[in-house]
Amino acid sequence: MKVLVIGANGNTAMRIIRLLAKSKHDPVAMIRNPSHRAKFDKLGVPTVLADLEYPIDHAVQGCDAIIFAAGSGGKTGKDKTVLIDHIGAIRSIVAAQVHGVRRYIMLSSINNDINSQSRIAHYHRAKAHADNHLVESDLDYTIVCPGGLTDEKGTRLVSLSAELQGSGLTSRENLAAALVACLDRDNSVGKSFSLLDGDTPLADALRAL
């Protein structure tokens, strides 16, 4: 499949790109800044320039699947969070529907709630709105909700649960591996699950969804 990775320059997304580049799939990196092209050129991965604050139809056209791994980042304000994590995500979902991209995998977060009162409530609310829109769409979706992200080495030992509230840590490598693996797991379609570092081999955990 031709897989568009949205937010491709991010820490987790770069791990996704590297895994896809070694797989049977063909990744396309969606980036905002043309200066980032060089790192993808070295991996032999094509890029497309697009910004979630504007229409991205040209980036979505011709793709078979989308992995949404974009985020406004911790250094931006609430307005940017809404623009990227809420409105931008929904913009990508609508573009997928318009252009016949059936498979959509969302990198989300645990503890999302449209009525969140958490310390980062604006983030959890934005993500919840986007997740809800995806669930209500006609796309073949999977929503993966990690805990606090770390740069620890990925063991591919995880804990998956339908319970989307809680606490825990998730290595970016384990997360990237799970997102990519879902592309080939038909049983992950229509599922939302939390993903934390744990004791179960990733392949076994996904098989049991």
Sign, CA torsion 117/123/127/130 = positive
Q: In the 8-state DSSP scheme, what is residue 168?
A: -
d(CA 140, CA 18): 24
The question of whether 54 is a catalytic residue gets the answer: no
Q: Are 209 and 200 in contact (CB under 8 A)?
A: no
d(CA 156, CA 196): 10
* Alpha helices per DSSP H over the chain: 11-21, 37-43, 57-60, 78-81, 89-98, 121-136, 172-182, 202-207
d(CA 76, CA 165): 24
d(CA 190, CA 103): 10
Q: Exactly one of 54, 104, 123, 141 is catalytic; name it.
A: 123
The separation between CA 10 and the C-alpha centre of its own chain, rounded to angstroms, equals 11
**CB-based contacts of 71-79 (< 8 A; 24+ apart in sequence):** 71/7, 71/10, 78/122
Catalytic annotation, residues: 123
